[in-house]
Amino acid sequence: MRIEDYALIGDMQTAALVGRNGSIDWLCLPRFDSAACFAALLDDPRAGRWLLAPADAGATARRRYRQDTLVLETTWEADGGCVRVLDFMPPRVEAPDVVRIVEGVRGRVEMRTELALRFDYGSIVPWTRQDGGELAAVAGPDSAWLDASVPLDEGTGEGTGVTTARFSVAAGDRLPFVLTWQQSWLPRPARVDAFTALDDTERTWTGWLRDCAYQGSRYGDAVRRSLLTLKALTYAPTGGLVAAPTTSLPEEIGGTRNWDYRYSWLRDASFTLRALLQAGYEDEARAWRDWLLRAVAGDPADLQIMYTLDGTRRIPEWRAEWLRGYEGSHPVRIGNAAYAQVQLDVYGEVLDCLYQGRRAGLHHDDAAWDLQRALMDYLEGHWRDPDHGLWEVRGPRRHFTHSKVLAWVAADRMVRTVESGDHGGPAGRWRALREEVHREVCEHGYDAERNTFTQFYGSRGVDAALLLIPRLGFLPPSDPRVAGTVEAVRRELGRDGLVLRHRHDLDNLDELTGGEGTFLACSFWLADALALMGRGEEARELFERLLDLRNDVGLLAEEYDTAHRRQVGNFPQAYSHLAVVNTAAALEAGAPVSTTER
């Protein structure tokens, strides 16, 4: 299936992808970044999946989320009648559960289910047995139970370790299936009543969205679905936001740019805070801010671009060689070596995020301010250093223009904090630094002949992150250099009206082969820049076109392949959905303003 053929269910600690064909092809337990027990997404059914669908191969399906929830409803028209399947993960109490309920709507339909548990990313077939009327499975640290309302045929499916069943559903029938995971040395968790869990799950999601303060009507549905997706991608115990629940979905089908996104990136910090605060979710914004403060605490020199959901720093990268990759896109990477890269823009991201939170009333104590001053002190001594840049290129360090702009942002936000009277500090020294950085960027990061800022000093290319210059307040939207940069990005990075992050074929940027799709968040940034420049109709047209790229249940991946008209990259992508919320709010409020109100 295509990436957009999947839908998301989750319990705010992990998530599963459910395909149009009724197969759950991806699930990591017990956390987003744990090993997968269903990994067919990155290989074939032998790598683990859970199919539940009509036996009629010609059955057709339509699907939706039930109202404002993460309960997926798939309605099947098949020989003999119509059935509905509800898929969801209840908010966790004792252990993670996946609940599937088959409801007969009309006539009688023959159904089939096929469960292939494969722990450790498809590499381990567990030992299974019938236990008290349910299927029990165990291997190493993992155990699972399938509580089914129909008789199961253990080990009769294709291959080993596959449990199947065939059964019929008549109008009015409601047949539940519950898969529960637990660490193998612990007793089986209490059984979940599927129908009670359904009511609880619907109340949880609708109750959460009822508190949404977003007032826009034109894009309200898109914003609510994106907010629900962002909530689903938040690791509830810590407040950390996972970039995506998947690994190694390719940026180019068949390519090698396949990365593990099941971690929290500091580059998302200010975008996340802005989206949550605009929607009125102060508790979630505070939890994200607190996660950020905990994660970055320590020696400022050790600041990383990403952390695990609990703030762990080491994220070693390795390859699951036994998995063929999505549509043959190899390698499948687990972990992300980019955690060790030097990306100086994260200092500005962190300080901007904390500044925005303070302006919104999320006050912090003196210890948090001391940490910010320490980060600023380090940046003062290192902003001239080359780095790897925002996009984690796996090549030599360079003087990336965006990184320097974020150094200006860091100094600017610290000055503004002191000027507001919230905290004390050497504002005069930071003002001087702010002006010095500004002069250098305008001298070395700007190409006067082409009238555009460049990706890095002396580069022939441009970078979509340059679209953020007016939004960050570095230059006003009316500045001719802003207009020239926007046009250069559209001309040099534009693909069918959307935007690439950058071009890999210029300046020997990295050592990897192949390309990638257009980057959806950057395309939203173009809409933001156009609106800031007073070109609101163009901005709205682009934004609505981007909304049309969502799949049938409102989800976006990281990128879009304009040549093959399909989503690519990890899915669903928090960065894309953050952009939906932020751009929609700006457009519905009228002309958006920069984050500094210059």
pLDDT at 424 over 70: yes
Read off the amino acid at residue 481.
Answer: R
DSSP structural state of residue 247: B
Structure tokens at 500: 């690439």
Work out the pLDDT band at 598, boundaries 50, 70, 90: very low
Tell me the percentage of the chain whose pLDDT exceeds 70.
97
> How confident is the model at residue 83, as a pLDDT?
98
CA distance linking residue 72 with residue 118, whole number of Å: 24
> How confident is the model at residue 507, as a pLDDT?
62
> How confident is the model at residue 132, as a pLDDT?
80
> How confident is the model at residue 597, as a pLDDT?
42
pLDDT at 14 over 50: yes
Mean pLDDT within 539-556: 98
CA distance linking residue 19 with residue 16, whole number of Å: 10
> How confident is the model at residue 555, as a pLDDT?
98
pLDDT tens by residue, 466-503: 999 999 999 999 999 999 999 999 999 999 999 999 98
DSSP structural state of residue 353: H
| Strand partners of residue 514 | none
pLDDT tens by residue, 230-247: 999 999 999 999 999 999
Helix axes 220-232, 574-588, angle to 10 degrees: 150
pLDDT at 215 over 90: no
Mean pLDDT within 425-445: 97
- How many angstroms separate the first and last alpha carbons of the chain? 48
Q: Taking all residues of the chain, what is their mean pLDDT, rounded to a whole number? A: 93
Mean pLDDT within 104-125: 97
Helix axes 401-419, 427-444, angle to 10 degrees: 160
Tally: H helices and E strands in the chain: 14, 28
Residue 594 or 21, more confident: 21
> How confident is the model at residue 160, as a pLDDT?
64
Whether the CB-CB separation of 329 and 407 falls below 8 Å is answered with no
List Cα–Cα distances, 50 to 18, 425, 469, 518, in angstroms.
Answer: 9, 58, 47, 32
C-beta atoms surrounding 328 within 10 Å: 11
Work out the pLDDT band at 158, boundaries 50, 70, 90: very low
pLDDT tens by residue, 275-322: 999 999 999 999 999 999 999 988 999 999 999 999 999 999 999 999
Work out the pLDDT band at 394, boundaries 50, 70, 90: confident
CA distance linking residue 333 with residue 248, whole number of Å: 6
- Of 110, 117, 98, the C-alpha closest to 150 is 110
pLDDT at 593 over 70: no
pLDDT at 592 over 50: no
What DSSP line would sit under 436-502, residue for residue?
A: HHHHHHHHHSEETTTTEE-SBTT-SS--GGGGGHHHHTSS-TT-HHHHHHHHHHHHHHEETTEE-S-
Beta strands in 296-417 (DSSP E): 306-307, 318-319, 333-334
List Cα–Cα distances, 528 to 170, 221, 413, in angstroms.
Answer: 52, 20, 21
pTM exceeding the 0.85 threshold for the entire prediction: yes
CA distance linking residue 532 with residue 598, whole number of Å: 13
Structure tokens at 73: 């409803």
Q: 313-321, long-range: CB within 8 Å, 24+ apart, which pairs?
A: 313/339, 314/339, 315/260, 315/263, 315/339, 317/260, 320/42, 320/121, 320/122, 320/123
Tell me the percentage of the chain whose pLDDT exceeds 90.
86
Structure tokens at 328: 């043959």
> How confident is the model at residue 537, as a pLDDT?
96
pLDDT at 48 over 80: yes
> How confident is the model at residue 156, as a pLDDT?
45
pLDDT at 421 over 70: yes
Mean pLDDT within 64-70: 96
Read off the amino acid at residue 528.
Answer: D
CA distance linking residue 167 with residue 216, whole number of Å: 46
| Strand partners of residue 74 | 63, 85
DSSP structural state of residue 326: G
